[in-house]
Amino acid sequence: MAILRREAPAWGAPVVTLIAEQTGDPFRVLISTILSLRTKDETTAAAARRLFARATTPQAMLRLRAATIARLIYPVGFYRTKACAIRAVCRDLLERWDGAVPCDLDALLTLQGVGRKTANLVLTLGFRTPGICVDTHVHRITNRLGYVRTRTPDETERALRRKLPAAHWIEINDLLVAFGQHLCRPISPHCTRCPIVEYCPRRGVTVSR
């Protein structure tokens, strides 16, 4: 983790992290995380800019029709579905939380369409409270390193909660997402350029660069 932390500035932060750093707003972290699912960072960044130029609160977001939100966030993946999900989340926040984003994992998971990855990212980036956000990068890399042996992201989260020191919980997603996007790719990772290759058994890697 210390090595990755040292190298990470050269890779650039994930887009949701940048939004969190720039705004400090849990609501924008929540909405941008929804946008980011199955979408490249550059597409998410542009869509978030367009959407937040029109609405930065649940109240303002609900004043936009689903079709308007869909047009603003296009071409993120599943943009029509996400437009409806954003409105549903905003309605939930207003009806049950007075428009505020809850800072509790179980409460976040009751919001429509919010899964463990999104909820944990809101905790760690929106509130800077402990959580372990496991996306495909974290799941793949922690297994590739041999740190865990799991089949699904949910299993990986549970394993990391048992094994990973709490001091690293908030930062693990940022570090491994950046690492996974730039070097430790799903197919043919850049092992010859990897700063932690000496610690990695490269489990599951058949082709590398």
The chain-wide mean pLDDT, for the chain, equals 96
Domain boundaries, the chain: 2-9+133-199, 10-126
Tell me if 16 sits within 8 A of 181, measured CB to CB: no
- Does the structure show a pLDDT above 90 at 159? yes
pTM: 0.92
| Catalytic site residue from 41, 82, 117, 174 | 117
Q: What's the pLDDT at 112?
A: 87
- Does the structure show a pLDDT above 90 at 109? yes
Please compute the mean of the pLDDT values over residues 153-181 and round it to a whole number: 96
Instruction: Name residue 151's amino acid.
Output: R
Please compute the mean of the pLDDT values over residues 181-206 and round it to a whole number: 96
Instruction: Name residue 138's amino acid.
Output: V
- Those residues with Cβ within 8 angstroms of residue 158's Cβ, 6 or more apart along the chain or in another chain: none
| Catalytic site residue from 135, 154, 163, 174 | 135
Radius of gyration of the chain (CA): 18
Q: What's the pLDDT at 113?
A: 85
Helix (H, G, I), strand (E, B) or coil at 54: helix
Region 2-9+133-199: CATH code: 1.10.1670.10
Indicate the angle between helix axes 79-97 and 66-73, nearest 10 degrees. 120
Has domain 10-126 been given CATH number 3.40.50.2000? Answer: no
Residue range 5-60, pLDDT digits in tens = 999 999 999 999 999 999 999 999 999 999 999 999 999 999 999 999 999 999 99
Residue 163 annotated in active site? no
Q: What's the pLDDT at 9?
A: 94
CA angle 165, 125, 33 (to 5 degrees): 120
First-to-last alpha carbon distance for the chain, in angstroms, is: 22
Q: What's the pLDDT at 152?
A: 97
Residue 117 annotated in active site? yes
- The Cα 77–Cα 115 span in angstroms is 17
- Does the structure show a pLDDT above 90 at 92? yes
Of 30, 25, 70, 26, residue with least CA distance to 47: 70
